[in-house]
Amino acid sequence: QVQLQESGPGLVKPSQILSLTCTVSHGSISNGAYCWSWIRQHPGKGLEWIGYIYHTGSDHYNPSLKSRVSISVDTSKNQFSLRLNAVTAADTAMYYCARTYYDSVWGSFRLDSWGQGTLVTVSS
């Protein structure tokens, strides 16, 4: 059973960079059947998909965040990372990483294994 674990600072100052890492265990990030996503949930609110990346580096982002976000992958460490620039209080949220199955032919996209999440607060 694949497991994912988020790590990174819990507090980030406004205008600075939010940086998180997701470590994958009991499974290879290089498994081409899957891509790897970041998702966030604002306090008391709904879920927002941020973007995904394949082990090849091919990525895709939510248009609402595309100008500020990048996701990278390190196959040697079985990790992928999130970088969000110029954060504001509106970026305060629980951030999750998840293994993702995507079949564009059948229009199937699902987040089938999730990390436990990490809370990031943006405050001075």
Partner 1 sequence: QSVLTQPPSASGTPGQRVTIPCSGSNSNIGTNTVNWYQVLPGAAPKLLIYSDDQRPSGVPDRFSGSKSGTSASLAISGLQSEDEADYFCAAWDDNLNGLYVFGTGTTVTVL
Q: Which residues bind partner 1 (CB under 8 A)?
A: 37, 39, 46-49, 60, 62-64, 96, 102, 106-117
C-alpha distances in Å from residue 9, one per residue of 14, 79, 119:
13, 16, 9
Whose Cβ is closer to partner 1: residue 13's or residue 110's? 110
Whose Cβ is closer to partner 1: residue 16's or residue 31's? 31
Task: Show Cβ contacts of residue 107 under 8 Å, excluding neighbours closer than 6 positions.
Answer: none
Whose Cβ is closer to partner 1: residue 40's or residue 55's? 40
21 vs 60: CA distance, rounded Å: 17
72 vs 80: CA distance, rounded Å: 6
Burial zone of 19 (CB within 10 Å; 0-12 exposed, 13-18 middle, 19+ buried)? middle
Whose Cβ is closer to partner 1: residue 33's or residue 124's? 33
Closest approach of partner 1 to the CB of residue 124, in Å: 26
Closest approach of partner 1 to the CB of residue 92, in Å: 16
Closest approach of partner 1 to the CB of residue 108, in Å: 5
Closest approach of partner 1 to the CB of residue 32, in Å: 19
